[in-house]
Amino acid sequence: MGVAEEIGFVLLALLGGALLTAGLERLLGTAERGPARPLAVARATALPNADRWLLPAGPISGLAGVLFGTVVIPFGPTLIGRDLGIGVFYFIVVIDFVVLGVALNGWGASTSDAVESCYRIVAQLVSYIVPLGLAYVGAIMMARSLVTTTIVDAQSGLWFIVLQPLGFALYLVTGLMQSYRAPFLEAFSDRIGGGVLGVVGGGPALVWRVTLSGLLFLVAAMGAILFLGGWSGPFLPPPVWMALKTYGLMALMLSLGHLVRPLSTAEMLALSWKILTPAGLVNVLIVGILILLHIGPA
């Protein structure tokens, strides 16, 4: 497959994911809240107290986070931007440029709602990153590699979701936190007028729309790589399997998240540190024992 076709496929996959997200959010009635809220793309905004440099730096940083993350996502054995040696570690680091972007945009806009959004998004990062990282560690231990394609190859016999159900459950919850979907909507909640999303308009609004829907797609794609065997599957070509698994995981996350009432930042922090982080440590120990018992990929 040529480079142009690869880029075309990835863009198509992203577009399909964004359409699916929009459709599901509308179906579940969550479209009016959180990152899927309507944005004033056709109208630019003027903020009298805004910081000259931090405000425009926000959307650029957010977009960079999503585009950086896309580099290591494999849609097939060779259909990957660049198969970096530190693959998943690189991914977990660069994806947080989105958090930095929202924080910069919120602080730079200098309205009380936007600054509140900045604080809440940082609190959300503090909540999800440790249990999320521990969910990654389980898959890395069994695959013995940080390379995304090697992790997929290691699941050719049995998907890691079967061997690590606890890790997968952790990934579902922390993935929702990472993509700011229900029930973790605090950073863009209605009570602060949508926070950062309430004060952006025009081009930046368009960038945030792309960034936040791309973020959910990337989180689901990484979930498919770590726990659902990535592109592997019978009959259909690899990219189709990868897209199917990613969309399936997106649909599963959005529908499960919809069943829970929205959590406040305090409740989210408590959930993360009192339940998810200890569960993540237990998951690492369970996976360690499984490997010592020679269960998993040889």
Partner 1 sequence: MSDYAPVALVAVLAVGLGLLALALRAGPVRRIEAPSAWAQFRFGYPIYALIFLAFDMEMIFMYPWAVVFAAIGLTAFIDMLVFIAILSAGIAYAWGMGGLEWE
Residues engaged in binding partner 1 (CB under 8 A):
40, 42-49, 56, 59-60, 63-64, 67-68, 70-71, 81-82, 84-85, 89, 110-115, 119, 123, 126, 129-130, 133-134, 137, 140-142, 144-146, 199, 201-204, 206-207, 265-266, 269-270, 273-274, 277-278, 281, 284-285, 288-289, 291-292
- Residue with smaller CB distance to partner 1, 28 or 64: 64
At 94 the three-state DSSP class reads helix
- Residue with smaller CB distance to partner 1, 147 or 172: 147
Q: How far is CA 10 from CA 93, 214, 218, in A?
A: 21, 11, 11
- Residue with smaller CB distance to partner 1, 77 or 119: 119
Residue 209 buriedness (CB in 10 A; 0-12 / 13-18 / 19+): buried
Fill in the amino acid letter for 246.
T
- Residue with smaller CB distance to partner 1, 11 or 236: 11
CB of residue 41 to partner 1, shortest distance in Å: 8
CB of residue 250 to partner 1, shortest distance in Å: 23
- With beta carbons less than 8 A apart as the criterion, state whether 223 and 242 touch: no
- Residue with smaller CB distance to partner 1, 134 or 187: 134
CB of residue 234 to partner 1, shortest distance in Å: 28
CB atoms under 10 Å from CB of 270, counted, come to 13
CB of residue 286 to partner 1, shortest distance in Å: 12
CB of residue 40 to partner 1, shortest distance in Å: 6
For 40, phi then psi, to 5°, come to -85, 70
- Residue with smaller CB distance to partner 1, 43 or 261: 43
CB of residue 83 to partner 1, shortest distance in Å: 9
Q: Which has the closest alpha carbon to 246: 41, 89, 34, 14?
A: 14
Distance, in Å, from the CA atom of 202 to the CA atom of 204, rounded to the nearest integer, reads 6
- Residue with smaller CB distance to partner 1, 24 or 226: 226
- Residue with smaller CB distance to partner 1, 155 or 265: 265
Distance, in Å, from the CA atom of 151 to the CA atom of 145, rounded to the nearest integer, reads 7
Distance, in Å, from the CA atom of 17 to the CA atom of 191, rounded to the nearest integer, reads 28
Distance, in Å, from the CA atom of 48 to the CA atom of 171, rounded to the nearest integer, reads 41
CB of residue 97 to partner 1, shortest distance in Å: 9
CB of residue 235 to partner 1, shortest distance in Å: 31
Distance, in Å, from the CA atom of 59 to the CA atom of 205, rounded to the nearest integer, reads 8
Write the CB contacts of 16 (distance below 8 Å, at least 6 apart in sequence): 243, 247
Distance of CA 120 to the CA centre of its chain: 17
